[in-house]
């Protein structure tokens, strides 16, 4: 009886993805193997839900998306007059790539706990859970059909590959393994090799994943073929930037995957007037997201959302503490990506005082992610978009432009321009087109955590034309674009080395 009570509690926690966290820490799902677990479809669903919870937990540890994907190129300044102004100066520390200072002790932004970004153990917990799930699915679960088994394997592979992809973009080279019960100390493996293994792994299950699900509550939340394609496209484009001799192969594969995605008609760009549906989650534009809602009492940290830095009254209360935003994008940068004299409905839908160059600036793109009862300290209503259709369309446009298919690239690009009621691109091909696609990604995906990584993989981070925080080639090659790795990674592993750029001073 005790065993069944424990099992029931674990299932409840995993399916709800909220509460019971202390109990899960005592005996997590991935430890319930053999006779205790993996006996039914419900068991497998519980593990899949737990994988999603683990991803959310890593994002929810700190102000993750802004810190890793937006601020390090120097476009953002903090507003000294904002509530707890000095604690928001971290955006400028990141904008100077001074991560050692960011992580040093006794700083006013210490409550953000940015050091948690350096700890990769949470990602390896995801990988280990996925490995164990695949192992048990391969052994066979009696209540599953063959097609259900293959689809679940595809979902587990997606989670495993997403964890590796996130780590590669954060740390560069990482240890790679797929065996279920790994106990061996391992060295870090070249990141291109890691992603090539992930690409082969996920492609092997692509056809087993459905394009969509009959249950609307699973839209964008449960990994689908569209989710896997988006991840494959991103892994290919990352490798294209670092495995230059083979770049045309990666571009071709990205373009072909994007073509299959568009032709599937399984996803669509929603009209801009329906943007609230996109940012709230579970929309036709979502390819993969970590869905959270205050209706389910989901525990989103108030410091986690990107929009927390760029919203003020009346979107955050109390008024006397939120007269201005904590931070703002430089007016010079906003003018560059959204020229004042060029029509674009995103400017009105997504921004307020967008050229103000102070805390009057707000990003209304995230204003629908309201706080419970409006108070900033309360649980934000926040869905975290990982991949959406617009991002994949622009990634395909970039791949086609690199393959010198200017017409195809322009067609993809103008899908996004048309949705924004912005003038279609009618310029030349070649580098002009490539540059415009990059700027379009900067416009469309602002705040979604792609911008800094776009600068890295395209090497634009080396050119002051494209960033306020230039890395020279030596700094780039020594890993100046990475994050430090927590020294705990050295424990009981004689093969492990940390990112020497940061251990040697970060210069």
Query: Which CATH number fits the domain 2-62+118-209, given the four candidates 2.30.110.10, 1.25.40.890, 3.40.50.300, 3.10.129.10?
Result: 1.25.40.890
Lowest mean pLDDT among 38-52, 127-141, 158-172, 288-302: 288-302
The model's confidence at residue 487, banded by pLDDT at 50, 70 and 90, is very high
pTM (predicted TM-score):
0.93
- Give pLDDT tens digits for 303-323: 999 999 999 998 888 899 999
Across 297-306, average pLDDT: 86
Query: Residue 373 pLDDT more than 90?
Result: no
pLDDT of residue 379: 63
pLDDT mean across residues, the chain: 92
Lowest mean pLDDT among 10-19, 190-199, 396-405, 440-449: 10-19
Q: How far is CA 72 from the centre of its chain?
A: 15
β-strands 384-388, 286-290: how paired? antiparallel
pLDDT of residue 6: 37
pLDDT of residue 167: 98
**Burial category of 472 from C-beta neighbours within 10 Å (exposed 0-12, middle 13-18, buried 19 and up):** exposed
The model's confidence at residue 381, banded by pLDDT at 50, 70 and 90, is confident
For 92, the 3-state DSSP assignment is helix
- CA–CA distance, 130 with 496 (Å, rounded to integer): 23
Residues of the chain with CATH 1.25.40.890: 2-62+118-209
pLDDT of residue 12: 40
- CA–CA distance, 193 with 170 (Å, rounded to integer): 16
**Burial category of 88 from C-beta neighbours within 10 Å (exposed 0-12, middle 13-18, buried 19 and up):** buried
The model's confidence at residue 34, banded by pLDDT at 50, 70 and 90, is low
- CA–CA distance, 228 with 234 (Å, rounded to integer): 10
Query: Residue 10 pLDDT more than 60?
Result: no
User: In the chain, pLDDT over 90 holds for what percent of residues?
Assistant: 84
3-state secondary structure 405-418: CHHHHHHHHHHHHH
């Amino acid at each position: 009886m005790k065993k069944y009570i424990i099992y029931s509690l674990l299932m409840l926690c995993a399916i709800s993805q909220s509460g019971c966290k202390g109990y899960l820490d005592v005996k997590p799902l991935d430890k319930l193997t053999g006779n205790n677990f993996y006996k039914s479809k419900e068991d497998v669903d519980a593990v899949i839900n737990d994988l999603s919870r683990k991803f959310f937990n890593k994002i929810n540890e700190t102000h993750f998306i802004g810190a890793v994907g937006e601020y390090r190129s120097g476009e953002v300044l903090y507003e000294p007059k904002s509530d707890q102004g000095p604690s928001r100066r971290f955006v400028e520390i990141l904008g100077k790539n001074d991560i050692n200072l960011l992580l040093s002790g006794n700083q006013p932004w210490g409550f953000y706990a940015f050091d948690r970004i350096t700890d990769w153990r949470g990602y390896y917990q995801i990988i280990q859970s996925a490995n164990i799930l695949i192992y048990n699915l391969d052994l066979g679960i009696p209540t599953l059909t063959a097609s259900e088994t293959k689809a679940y394997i595809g979902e587990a592979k997606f989670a495993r590959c997403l964890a590796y992809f996130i780590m590669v973009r954060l740390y560069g080279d990482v240890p790679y393994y797929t065996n279920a019960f790994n106990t061996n100390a391992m060295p870090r493996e070249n990141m291109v090799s890691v992603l090539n293994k992930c690409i082969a792994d996920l492609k092997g299950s692509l056809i087993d994943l459905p394009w969509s699900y009959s249950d609307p509550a699973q839209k964008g939340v449960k990994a689908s073929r569209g989710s896997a394609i988006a991840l494959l496209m991103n892994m290919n484009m990352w490798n294209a930037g670092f495995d230059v001799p083979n770049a045309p192969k990666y571009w071709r594969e990205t373009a072909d995957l994007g073509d299959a995605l568009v032709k599937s008609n399984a996803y669509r760009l929603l009209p801009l007037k329906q943007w609230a549906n996109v940012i709230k989650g579970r929309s036709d534009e979502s390819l993969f997201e970590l869905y959270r809602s205050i209706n389910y009492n989901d525990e989103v940290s108030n410091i986690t959302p990107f929009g927390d830095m760029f919203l003020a009254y009346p979107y955050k209360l109390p008024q006397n503490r939120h007269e201005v935003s904590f931070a703002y994008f430089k007016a010079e940068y906003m003018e560059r990506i959204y020229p004042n004299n060029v029509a674009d409905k995103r400017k009105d839908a997504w921004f307020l005082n967008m050229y103000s160059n102070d805390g009057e600036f707000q990003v209304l793109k995230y204003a629908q992610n309201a706080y419970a009862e409006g108070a900033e300290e309360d649980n934000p209503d926040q869905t975290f978009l990982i991949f959406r259709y617009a991002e994949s369309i622009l990634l395909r446009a970039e791949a086609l432009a690199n393959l010198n298919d200017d017409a195809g690239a322009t067609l993809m690009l103008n899908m996004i321009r048309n949705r924004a009621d912005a003038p279609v691109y009618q310029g030349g091909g070649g580098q002009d087109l490539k540059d415009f696609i990059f700027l379009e990604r900067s416009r469309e995906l602002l705040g979604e955590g792609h911008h800094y990584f776009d600068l890295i993989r395209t090497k634009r981070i080396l050119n002051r034309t494209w960033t306020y925080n230039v890395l020279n080639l030596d700094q780039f090659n020594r890993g100046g674009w990475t994050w430090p790795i927590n020294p705990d990674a050295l424990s009981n592993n004689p093969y492990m080395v940390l990112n020497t750029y940061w251990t040697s001073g970060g210069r």
